Amino acid sequence: MNKLLLGCIADDFTGATDLANNLVRAGMRTLQTIGVPEGPLHAEADAVVVALKSRTVPAADAVQQSLAALRWLQAQGVQQVYFKYCSTFDSTPAGNIGPVTDALLDALHGAGQGFTIACPAFPENKRTVFKGHLFAGDVLLNESGMQNHPLTPMTDANLVRVLQQQTTRKVGLVSYEVVAQGPQAITRRLQALQAEGVQIAVLDAISNEDLMRIGPALRGMALVTAGSGIAIGLPQNWQASGALAPGQASDLLPPFEGLGAVVSGSCSVATNAQVLAFKRAGRPAFAIDPVAVAAGDDVVGSALCWAEPLLPGGPVLVYATAASQAVQAVQAQLGVAEAGALVERTLAAIASGLIGRGVRRLVVAGGETSGAVVQALGVRQMAIGAQIDPGVPWTWARTALGPGIHLALKSGNFGSEDFFLKTFEAP
Ligand code: ADP
């Protein structure tokens, strides 16, 4: 078994996949785990991303979960720890970015000690930081719609100010003039800030080149805190030291095999268009009626009977995806939470049944739907492979049902219109 180099703690599931995707693209073999694993990893890897659900839970819970992840990563002997949060810095004055950062620094360096960075920049996804201010596209974070987020309204784009409210440590800034000068200048500025008593340095970054300039300055830093973008600049450090072979294949998924299917529970605009494109291409599709499920009809059995003879002819789609009016009508009849849970349970049972009928390439649409399917299949670890569309890689996972399968988990608004078709084209 090789040595794990980088251990990541992600504050949500799709964010974890986004980070893993960037690490694979930059040359690290990466596994994602769902929650803190109970034992060792199933496969060799250079990096591991532990996916938590800690973004919007009470800060004390987030700290506890993150420390449990840290202990497991330390037991695996990782050389560097990466705390991953959202590229829109989703948090409130109560946390959870500050309290988790403090707890991780305390655990790694001793109470009140240590030094780290904070940088949510991900220029490819239009998240940039300039003079400490976070931009989403062309506008400041607090004018981007994020000021109205139901759980984590972001009303200030100044990250130094935002983070300072959440942490007992002093927050400083490495501004763009310094970042543009390259790794040595960044290192010198980080050292100067440390000498001034700063313990968390917000970094400006507006391009991928900036991420590559920042990477070497983070070499040997015990804890890095960032969005998924900073990960693009880190693998070069291990490539330079010889711990990672430059140009090594990082997508180590087994070849595709078996039958293909899509299970869709997302009702986003993008997913509705993807369902339509699949049907328009003449592919078979089965619609789930939540009201029939609630009435006790054997919808799972019907869907599986329908799918079984069609599967050898190519991928099939089972979907609850509907336009917002139809969803609202169902929600009015069944209740919002009950309708959601009922559809998730149904699609998860169908996914399990499809695996039992020989499906080995499964695409799942919807964040919550993906969570329900992954849980029903008993997936605990996923190897991350090639990117299908930005933020959505193919993965491979062992299931509790027996076989290993290829899984693509697509959150609502991700993926091009032909996503359900192109995922099954020859890789
Ligand atoms: P997204 O990533 O697009 O937000 P999710 O899977 O996270 O997708 O959320 C979609 C929610 O809508 C799930 O709880 C799902 O069960 C529910 N849902 C799907 N189809 C319907 C429908 N036809 N009527 C009511 N609720 C539905």
Spell out the per-residue pLDDT of the chain, length 427, in tens. 468 999 999 998 888 999 999 999 999 999 999 999 988 888 889 999 999 989 989 999 999 999 999 999 999 999 999 999 999 999 999 999 999 999 999 999 999 999 999 999 999 989 999 999 999 999 999 999 888 888 889 999 999 999 999 999 999 999 999 999 999 999 999 999 999 999 999 999 999 999 999 999 999 999 999 999 999 999 999 999 999 987 788 888 999 999 999 999 999 889 999 999 999 999 999 999 999 999 999 999 999 999 999 999 999 999 999 999 999 999 999 999 899 999 999 999 999 999 999 999 999 999 889 989 999 999 999 999 999 988 899 999 999 988 899 999 988 878 899 999 999 986 5
Q: What token pair was written down for 64?
A: 């506890």
Pocket test of ligand 1: the residue of 266, 319, 375 to mutate, having most ligand atoms within 8 Å of its CB, is 266
Q: Measuring CA to CA, which residue among 2, 5, 1 is closest to residue 78? A: 5
CA distance 190 to 355: 51
Q: Cis link prior to 413 (omega < 30° from 0)?
A: no
Nearest CA to ligand 1 atom 25: 327
Under 8 Å between Cβ of 225 and 118: yes
- The CB density around residue 143, as the number of other CB atoms within 10 Å, is 13
Mutate to test the pocket of ligand 1, among 343, 374, 410 (most ligand atoms within 8 A of CB): 343
Tell me the CATH number for domain 6-241: 3.40.50.10840
Domain edges within the chain: 6-241, 259-425
Q: From the CB of 199, is ligand 1 less than 6 Å away?
A: no
Class of domain 259-425: alpha beta
pTM over 0.85: yes
- Is residue 144 within 6 Å of ligand 1 at its C-beta? no
**Three-class DSSP category at 78:** coil
Q: Which of 135, 40, 26 is nearest to 78 (CA)?
A: 40
